[in-house]
């Protein structure tokens, strides 16, 4: 395959990967495999080797968490579970290795990658609405459009996270250009409304918080880009008011928030929590995770023994419903500390915040918002324990950073 056709094929694979991240777990894995095979088949090894040599430090940093997980098998008892965990997390190593060993895509390709991802979100939302509509015609229950009955392709938290990032991409593309066709502005506005409504229906509390932050940051960024500070402040106030009204007047959201508040109050007053409610389950698994962390603070239990140790503590505390669901820590920071101890969570924080630190003079809205929404969702979900979360994080955390390789030469040669 000639260089020209390889480059085009590579771009189409990138578009396909971005498209399928919010649509199909198996589909995106297949395209990632094709992307890897395409990388191996093209024999421009000298160029790849030179890029690998130039960017070796960055590759090691971005894949460091995976390397530590692999090393932790040395002190894991359950090697079978550990190897499966490494298989799930493999994208954390391979995606940085491959993307950093290739030429950086230009602005038009990056925009098409973002548009492909947004298109994937549109497909998923349409599927969910159609599925819920079919359910509603059979049951006449409005709950068909809420939470897990609405978000059928992914867990509501991941579904909402994908849509939240799509909204960030839409804002980014809109702010990146000073001229827009009226039709383009209308389409962007409709997509933001549809995606936002879908997030509300999916009813993920953590993502509702990040959605609010997304709107607020977009308003402030609008004022900065357009030099309209007063307008951005007014918009921000309206957004805060609108979010308050939404939370108060939407029964499903309001009831879940009240339940969460009640459970937290029970916990603070040392009342016994029931393990059949979502918020209570999170508090109980966090408590179990912290107990294990204290015992294995510096090394963790190893990638293979995390589930076994958690299940052992759940059973010892008679958390029947949690045992049945085989819940993880529901917090990526705690989950990583259970597996790898303090060194593990430090490496997790490094790969999350390193792009912002290294590129602090040129940090854009998109990179910043990706880190913010991911960091917040890590607080309530062990995102890197699922294929959907790993691929989303590894792909965009790496791909967004590749812009640094364009900025770096410009710094050296102003």
Residues 293-300, mean pLDDT to the nearest whole number: 97
Helix and strand totals (H; E) in the chain: 20, 0
- For 270, the 3-state DSSP assignment is coil
- Residue 178 DSSP class: S
Helix axes 182-202, 205-226, angle to 10 degrees: 160
Q: CB–CB of 109/10 below 8 Å? A: no
Q: What is the pLDDT confidence band of residue 410, given thresholds at 50, 70 and 90?
A: very low
Q: CB–CB of 231/240 below 8 Å? A: no
Query: How high is the pLDDT of residue 1?
Result: 52
Q: What is the pLDDT confidence band of residue 414, given thresholds at 50, 70 and 90?
A: very low
**Non-local CB neighbours of 68 within 8 Å, separated by 6+ positions:** 340, 343, 344, 347
Q: CB–CB of 164/199 below 8 Å? A: yes
Q: Where are the alpha helices (DSSP H) in 148-277?
A: 156-175, 182-202, 205-226, 229-249, 251-268
For the chain, domain boundaries: 55-103+285-405
Lowest model confidence (mean pLDDT) among 2-6, 57-61, 297-301: 2-6
Asked whether the predicted pLDDT for residue 413 surpasses 70, the reply is: no
Q: CB–CB of 166/392 below 8 Å? A: no
Asked whether the predicted pLDDT for residue 5 surpasses 50, the reply is: yes
Give backbone dihedrals phi and psi of 106, rounded to 5 degrees, phi first.
Answer: -80, 180
Query: How high does pLDDT run on average in the chain?
Result: 88
Handedness of CA 154, 160, 163, 168 (dihedral sign): negative
What burial class does residue 412 get, using C-beta atoms within 10 Å of its C-beta: 0-12 exposed, 13-18 middle, 19+ buried?
exposed
Query: How high is the pLDDT of residue 219?
Result: 84
What is the rounded CA–CA span in Å between residue 353 and residue 371? 7
Buried b (16+ CB within 10 A) or exposed e, 234-251: ebbeebeeebeebeeebe
Question: Model's pTM, two decimal places?
Answer: 0.92
Selection from 18, 11, 30 nearest residue 120 by Cα: 18
**Non-local CB neighbours of 353 within 8 Å, separated by 6+ positions:** 371
Q: How many CB atoms are located within 10 Å of the residue 259 CB?
A: 14
Lowest model confidence (mean pLDDT) among 76-90, 127-141, 144-158, 275-289: 275-289
Query: How high is the pLDDT of residue 17?
Result: 98
Asked whether the predicted pLDDT for residue 169 surpasses 70, the reply is: yes
The proportion of the chain whose per-residue pLDDT surpasses 90, expressed as a percent, equals 60
The 10s digit of each residue's pLDDT in 126-163 is 999 999 999 999 998 888 898 889 999 999 999 999 99
Lowest model confidence (mean pLDDT) among 14-18, 154-158, 249-253, 320-324: 249-253
Q: How many CB atoms are located within 10 Å of the residue 343 CB?
A: 16
Residues 310-330, mean pLDDT to the nearest whole number: 95
Handedness of CA 16, 19, 22, 27 (dihedral sign): negative
Structural Rg of the chain based on CA atoms: 22
What burial class does residue 68 get, using C-beta atoms within 10 Å of its C-beta: 0-12 exposed, 13-18 middle, 19+ buried?
buried
What is the rounded CA–CA span in Å between residue 103 and residue 48? 9
Lowest model confidence (mean pLDDT) among 38-47, 229-238, 283-292: 229-238
Query: How high is the pLDDT of residue 390?
Result: 98
- For 250, the 3-state DSSP assignment is coil
Q: What is the pLDDT confidence band of residue 277, given thresholds at 50, 70 and 90?
A: confident
Q: H or E stretch including 38?
A: helix 25-41
Residues 279-286, mean pLDDT to the nearest whole number: 90
Asked whether the predicted pLDDT for residue 317 surpasses 60, the reply is: yes
Q: Which residue has the higher pLDDT, 115 or 104?
A: 115
Q: Which residue has the higher pLDDT, 189 or 180?
A: 189
Q: Which residue has the higher pLDDT, 282 or 225?
A: 282
Give backbone dihedrals phi and psi of 269, rounded to 5 degrees, phi first.
Answer: -95, 15
Lowest model confidence (mean pLDDT) among 8-12, 224-228, 344-348, 381-385: 224-228
Residues 83-88, mean pLDDT to the nearest whole number: 97
Query: How high is the pLDDT of residue 348?
Result: 98
Residues 161-174, mean pLDDT to the nearest whole number: 94
Q: CB–CB of 367/65 below 8 Å? A: no
Query: How high is the pLDDT of residue 178?
Result: 64
Q: Which residue has the higher pLDDT, 393 or 148?
A: 393
């Amino acid at each position: 395959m000639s260089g020209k056709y390889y480059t085009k094929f590579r771009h189409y694979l990138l578009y396909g990967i971005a498209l399928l991240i919010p649509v199909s777990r198996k589909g995106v894995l297949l395209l990632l495999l094709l992307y890897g095979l395409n990388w191996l088949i093209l024999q421009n090894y000298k160029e790849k080797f030179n890029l690998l040599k130039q960017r070796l430090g960055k590759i090691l940093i971005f894949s460091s968490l995976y390397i530590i997980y692999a090393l932790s098998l040395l002190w894991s008892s359950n090697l079978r579970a550990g190897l499966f965990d490494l298989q799930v997390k493999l994208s954390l190593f391979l995606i940085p290795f491959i993307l950093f060993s290739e030429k950086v895509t230009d602005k038009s390709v990056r925009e098409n990658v973002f548009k492909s991802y947004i298109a994937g979100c549109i497909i998923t939302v349409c599927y969910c609405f159609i599925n819920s509509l079919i359910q509603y015609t059979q049951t006449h229950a409005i709950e068909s459009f809420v939470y897990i009955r609405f978000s059928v392709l992914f867990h509501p938290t991941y579904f909402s996270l994908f849509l939240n990032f799509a909204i960030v991409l839409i804002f980014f593309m809109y702010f990146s250009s000073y001229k827009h066709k009226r039709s383009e502005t209308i389409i962007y506005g409709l997509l933001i409304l549809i995606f936002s409504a879908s997030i509300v229906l999916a009813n993920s509390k953590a993502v509702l918080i990040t959605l609010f932050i997304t709107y607020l940051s977009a308003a402030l960024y609008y004022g900065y880009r357009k030099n309209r500070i007063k307008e951005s402040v007014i918009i921000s106030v309206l957004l805060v008011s609108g979010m308050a009204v939404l939370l108060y007047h939407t029964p499903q959201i309001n009831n879940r928030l009240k339940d969460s508040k009640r459970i937290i109050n029970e916990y603070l007053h040392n009342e016994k929590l029931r393990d059949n409610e979502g918020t209570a389950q999170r508090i109980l698994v966090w408590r179990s995770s912290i107990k294990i962390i204290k015992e294995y603070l510096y090394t963790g239990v190893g990638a293979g023994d995390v589930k076994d140790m958690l299940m052992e503590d759940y059973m010892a505390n008679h958390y029947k419903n949690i045992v049945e669901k085989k819940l993880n820590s529901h917090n990526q920071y705690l989950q990583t500390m259970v597996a790898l101890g303090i060194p593990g969570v430090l490496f997790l924080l490094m790969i999350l915040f390193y792009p912002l630190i290294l590129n602090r003079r040129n940090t854009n809205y998109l990179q910043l918002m990706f880190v913010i929404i991911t960091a917040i969702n890590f607080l309530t979900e062990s995102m890197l324990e699922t294929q959907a979360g790993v691929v989303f994080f590894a792909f965009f955390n790496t791909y967004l950073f590749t812009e640094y390789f364009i900025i770096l030469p410009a710094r050296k040669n102003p």
